[in-house]
Each structure stands twice: as structure tokens, then as C-alpha cells.
């Protein structure tokens, strides 16, 4: 006999994620009770993954479980927040036990890695859809925002943007990469992104503004700049592109993909020039994995420089690849 709603919750989601002692009531009552630390600000984000839109049937369910929380962890990272409690709204067409088990294991693993407890949710039937709400808090130095940047602030990005967009194309079957190690690396960057939670928290002491890169680095850097009342210049040569991405696409296309891809879940952040040397000392780049890519400008808009000259960007040059 198929499992009922209560069995699904008991079997797959009770005990999912980390155990926390600030959860007087988690799964089981009508709502969760959570103890927010005295004086802290509550930080909240929610993201929805719709089958056929945000993931496809053949994607591994562990990845979908991982990504459902990772996208929210990345949003909290961009605020410099400490993640704590998650709620899961699941709409399922049927009770597919192997799928649920694998989905829950992906969710459980990344939740434990970040000390997040699953404290509640909702289970309904309908077309497959996963919505995760993540709650956390900021205490001590204030939260990071998109809007704190100023002209002259130095712009950085974590990780190697573009990998995930290429990985998605490989996973969809629209990009073939001969080098199988490179192909696996890129697929993994898409399937199991690494939200930069610890970096975001440390950046509260150094950065003036921060955004997580979910819609493409150039667009998201532009959003940070606009929110800060600035423009932005990014140097094409300064973009950190991974060896697997260059091996898959060649140097030029790799750089364009780093700018325009998406779903990177890296942090793009601005740092006042007077803070840069202290940040580099306290957060060594090799350990924390970030690179300088440009600068905020007084002139509005987002520009890419190649050998010091403004690049003309035709969207048609890369749209066919990205979507």
C-alpha cells in the first residue's frame, strides 16, 4: 500500500538536517517554535523549484534536494547571515519512495553541513514542486546588502562562475564535452553547487555590498551596482575561469559564459579600497576562493572591458548557449 502523507513526513523528513537546541517545537505541531538569539535580526528567504522548469526528470533527486536548500543558503550567504531553520513545502504527484529517499538524502546532507534543522513544512499532492523556506539570523555586525557600494569600491567574485551554466547544458544534453573529467566537474558544479555561507558571514567585516550570483555575473553585478547608485566595470581578463570550463568551451566562450551563465550561487561583493589589504590578509584568496574582477564606477550601467576597451555585447552571441 502506498504511504500516506503522515508516513512520508515520518519516514523521510523527521530528523532531516541538523539537530538544534533552539527548536522547542519542530515537525509535529501546527507550527514550529524557534528561539531567535536576543538582539539578532531574523533573515528569511524562500525559493521554489518546479519540475520541468528548474529541474528535469532525469536529474538525480539528491541534486534536487541539495539545490532546493543550496539556493536559499546562497541568498542568506549574500546577506552575511547564519542559516538555522528550514521549512519544506512539497507537492508530489505520487509517493515515489526511491525518489523521496534520494531527495531527502541530498537535502539532509547539505542541511547538516550548514547546521540547518528542518522544522516543518507542508505535503500536498499535485504536479511535482519543491519550495524551501530558510530562516537564519544576523547578530553582531550588520547584515550585508546590495545597496552599500560606492564608486571606487573593488569588485570580487567567489569561485569560478560559468561552470554551472555549462554543467546544466551537459546535463540537458545540449553540450557535449569530450574530456570526461572536465564534463563531470562541470556537471557537479551544476548539480551540487557550494553556497558560500562562511565567506558571506566573514564579509560583513570587510564588504560594502554583496549579491549572490544566480542570474549571471554581469547582470547580478549590475543589480548590485544599481542598488548602490553606481555603475560597474568588469575586466574580461580578470574573470576566474576554471580549467574544465576552458577545456569545454575554449577561453573566449568560457569568459562569456562566466559573465552570462547563471545558477552559480557564488558571491559577488564590493570592498572599499581601504579595506582590501586587511581582507586579503584575513581571508587568504587561495583558502577562501575569490578574485578581483573589477570596480564600481560613478557612471551608471554595467560595462565589460577587454584590454582596457569597452566590449560591445550582443546578447545573441551567447543566449543560444545559455538557454
Question: In angstroms, what is the minimal distance from the CB of 42 to Mg ion?
Answer: 22
Scanning 22-30, 92-100, 195-203, 248-256 for contacts with ligand ADP by CB under 6 A, the matching segment is 22-30
120/262 with CB nearer Mg ion:
120
216 binds, among ligand ADP, Mg ion, none (CB under 5 to 8 A by kind): none
123 binding ligand ADP? (CB under 6 A): yes
Q: Characterize 107-122 residue by residue with b for buried, 16 or more Cβ atoms within 10 angstroms of its Cβ, and e for exposed.
A: bbbbbebbebbbbbbe
Q: Give the three cell numbers for residue 115.
A: 547546521
| Distance separating alpha carbons of residues 120 and 115, to the nearest angstrom | 16
30/287 with CB nearer Mg ion:
30
Among 121, 148, 193, 231, binds ligand ADP (CB under 6 A): 121
Which phi and psi angles does 227 have, rounded to 5°? -65, -30
Among 77, 100, 118, 138, binds ligand ADP (CB under 6 A): 118
120 binds, among Mg ion, ligand ADP, none (CB under 5 to 8 A by kind): ligand ADP
| Distance separating alpha carbons of residues 24 and 33, to the nearest angstrom | 6
Scanning 23-31, 103-111, 174-182, 236-244 for contacts with ligand ADP by CB under 6 A, the matching segment is 23-31
Q: Is the dihedral of CA 70, 72, 77, 81 positive or negative?
A: negative
| Distance separating alpha carbons of residues 63 and 260, to the nearest angstrom | 23
| Distance separating alpha carbons of residues 189 and 158, to the nearest angstrom | 13
Among 80, 103, 94, smallest CA distance to 212 is for: 80
Question: In angstroms, what is the minimal distance from the CB of 41 to Mg ion?
Answer: 28
| Distance separating alpha carbons of residues 27 and 79, to the nearest angstrom | 27
Torsion region of 253: left, alpha or beta (phi above 0 gives left; psi -120 to 50 gives alpha): alpha
Binding mask 75-114 for ligand ADP (x = CB under 6 A): -------------x-x------------------------
119/248 with CB nearer ligand ADP:
119
Binding mask 19-58 for Mg ion (x = CB under 5 A): -----------x----------------------------
120/195 with CB nearer ligand ADP:
120
Which phi and psi angles does 308 have, rounded to 5°? 85, -10
Q: Characterize 270-279 residue by residue with b for buried, 16 or more Cβ atoms within 10 angstroms of its Cβ, and e for exposed.
A: bbbeebeeeb
Binding site for Mg ion (CB under 5 A): 30
Site for ligand ADP, rule CB under 6 A = 9, 13, 27-30, 88, 90, 118, 120-123
Amino acid at each position: 500500500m502506498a504511504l500516506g502523507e503522515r508516513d512520508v513526513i515520518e519516514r523521510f523528513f523527521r530528523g532531516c538536517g541538523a539537530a538544534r537546541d533552539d527548536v522547542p517545537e519542530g515537525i509535529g505541531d501546527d507550527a514550529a517554535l524557534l528561539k531567535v538569539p536576543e538582539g539578532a535580526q531574523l533573515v528569511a528567504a524562500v525559493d521554489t523549484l518546479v519540475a520541468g522548469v528548474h529541474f528535469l526528470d532525469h536529474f538525480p533527486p539528491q541534486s534536487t534536494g541539495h539545490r532546493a536548500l543550496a539556493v536559499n543558503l546562497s541568498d542568506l550567504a549574500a546577506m552575511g547571515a547564519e542559516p538555522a531553520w528550514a521549512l519544506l513545502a512539497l507537492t508530489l504527484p505520487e509517493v515515489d519512495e526511491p525518489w523521496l529517499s534520494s531527495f531527502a538524502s541530498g537535502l539532509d546532507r547539505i542541511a547538516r553541513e550548514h547546521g540547518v534543522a528542518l522544522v516543518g513544512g507542508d505535503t500536498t499532492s499535485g504536479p511535482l514542486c519543491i519550495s524551501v523556506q530558510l530562516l537564519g539570523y544576523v547578530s553582531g555586525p550588520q547584515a550585508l546588502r546590495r545597496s552599500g557600494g560606492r564608486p571606487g569600491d573593488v569588485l570580487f567574485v567567489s569561485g569560478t562562475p560559468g561552470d554551472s551554466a555549462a554543467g546544466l547544458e551537459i546535463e540537458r544534453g545540449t553540450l557535449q564535452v569530450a574530456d570526461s573529467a572536465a564534463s563531470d566537474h562541470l556537471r557537479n558544479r551544476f548539480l551540487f553547487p557550494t553556497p558560500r555561507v562562511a565567506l558571506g558571514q566573514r564579509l560583513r567585516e570587510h564588504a560594502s555590498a554583496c549579491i549572490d550570483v544566480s542570474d549571471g555575473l554581469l547582470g547580478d553585478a549590475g543589480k548590485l551596482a544599481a542598488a548602490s547608485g553606481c555603475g560597474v566595470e568588469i575586466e574580461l581578463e580578470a574573470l576566474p575561469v576554471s580549467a574544465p570550463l576552458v577545456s569545454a568551451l575554449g577561453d573566449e566562450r568560457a569568459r562569456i559564459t562566466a559573465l552570462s551563465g547563471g545558477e552559480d550561487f557564488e558571491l559577488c561583493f564590493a570592498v572599499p579600497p581601504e579595506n582590501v589589504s586587511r581582507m586579503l590578509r584575513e581571508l587568504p584568496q587561495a583558502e577562501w576562493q575569490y578574485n578581483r574582477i573589477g570596480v564600481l564606477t560613478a557612471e551608471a550601467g554595467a560595462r565589460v572591458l577587454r584590454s582596457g576597451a569597452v566590449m560591445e555585447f550582443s546578447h545573441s552571441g551567447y543566449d543560444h548557449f545559455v538557454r
